[in-house]
Amino acid sequence: MDIADWRKKIDDLDRRLVELLSERARAAVEIGRLKRDTNLPIYEPERERIVFENVQHLNRGPLPGRDLVRIFERIMDVMRNIQKEEIVTKMERAKTQTELDSEVND
């Protein structure tokens, strides 16, 4: 394969990564809703440790394990932010509805 072929392969892989990351984000939103509804914390260090162990166990190279963990640290950081936004957005909507309801009832 020449460089153009390898770049096309990378473009295809990037497309698949975007699809998978979007799917993971949708799952994170749902988990955020469950955490909100059950008052669980967003940050769960034990769960993150398990994820890091899992990805290192699955890794067959050539990416070094420490680099893979760094990538997943960033992914999980972004997913935590998505969960926080889900919780804050829901709380803000509830507050807005309450404020509007109180104005109507006055």
Write the CATH number for 81: 1.20.59.10
Q: How far apart are CA 68 and CA 90, in angstroms?
A: 33
Give the range of the structural domain holding residue 29, as residue numbers without chain letter.
3-105
> What is the model's pLDDT at position 88?
73
> What is the model's pLDDT at position 90?
65
State the pLDDT confidence band at 36, using cuts at 50, 70 and 90: confident
Q: Are 21 and 77 in contact (CB under 8 A)?
A: no
Q: What is the pLDDT of residues 43-77, one digit of tens each?
A: 999 999 999 999 999 999 999 999 999 999 999 99
Into how many domains does the chain fold? 1
Q: What is the pLDDT of residues 15-31, one digit of tens each?
A: 999 999 999 999 999 99
What length is written for the chain? 106
